[in-house]
Amino acid sequence: MAKVAFLGLGVMGYPMAGHLKAKGHDVTIYNRNPAKAQAWVAQHGGVSAPTPADAAKGQEIVFCCVGNDDDLRSVTIGENGAFSGMEKGAIFVDHTTASANVARELEAAAKAGGFGFVDAPVSGGQAGAENGVLTVMCGGEQATYAKVEPVIAAFARMCKLMGPAGSGQLTKMVNQICIAGLVQGLSEGIHFAKRSGLDVEAMLEVISKGAAGSWQMDNRGKTMNIGKFDYGFAVDWMRKDLGIVLDEARRNGAQLPVTALVDQFYSEVQKLGGSRWDTSSLIARLEDY
């Protein structure tokens, strides 16, 4: 069992920290909104700290899951940031979906402070976090990763080191590229089926068993058909992620025409009032619910 901290109790971090406590780890939490931190302690036990630096003091591993690069810098190297409280030999594990650049930047800062860093974005959404079955893609040094992998197992069904710092974030970018294309294709397929007079649920049942089958089809096809979009990962966050993807593509020269187009489609969903709808709401552009 490890002595750990968890920074950030959003829709992902709240249950992830809960799984760590349930597996017997000694957990200290920090959240920008103290009321949410108090609610977590009331539900799970553990200790709440007033700042990231206080949360990090004396911990073997400090986990983090916040919103974006700026939030991440704030809780690590900002005023009262976790890096100022971490001890030599400790490890910082970042589950934020952020840029590869900030991962490399923070790894360098961690090395200067005598502790380790792993960028470890996750996939699986709110349901995956609540059920403890996330996929975690990591970047960092092998020896550092080996120390944190057994602890990450508290909330993951798959965890893999993808390469040096930033590689976890780059892998998550590929994940979001694939999801964007899949959801758009599924949206168009369901829209076409409706216009053709097909029984959509019967159609999904049949084609899901063939080459068109996917997680998105199995888990979101029926709800997309009825216009239900309250399944976690919001359009606002997807647009943030796709912005990171497209920015990285400009740097590395990758051509992502479909991803760029789907990003614009998501902007249309935002204009429809769907900023907090889940990512399957791409179909709302095509259907009048």
Structure tokens at 237: 């966050």
Active site residue 3: no
Q: ∠ CA(177), CA(278), CA(201), 5° rounding? A: 95
Read off the tokens for 216.
Answer: 């998105």
CB distance 37 to 30 below 8 Å: yes
Name the packing angle between helices 167-195 and 200-207 (round to 10°). 130
Catalytic residue among 172, 209, 222, 271: 172
Q: How far is CA 274 from the centre of its chain?
A: 20
Distance CA(173)–CA(244), nearest Å, equals: 8
- Active-site positions? 172
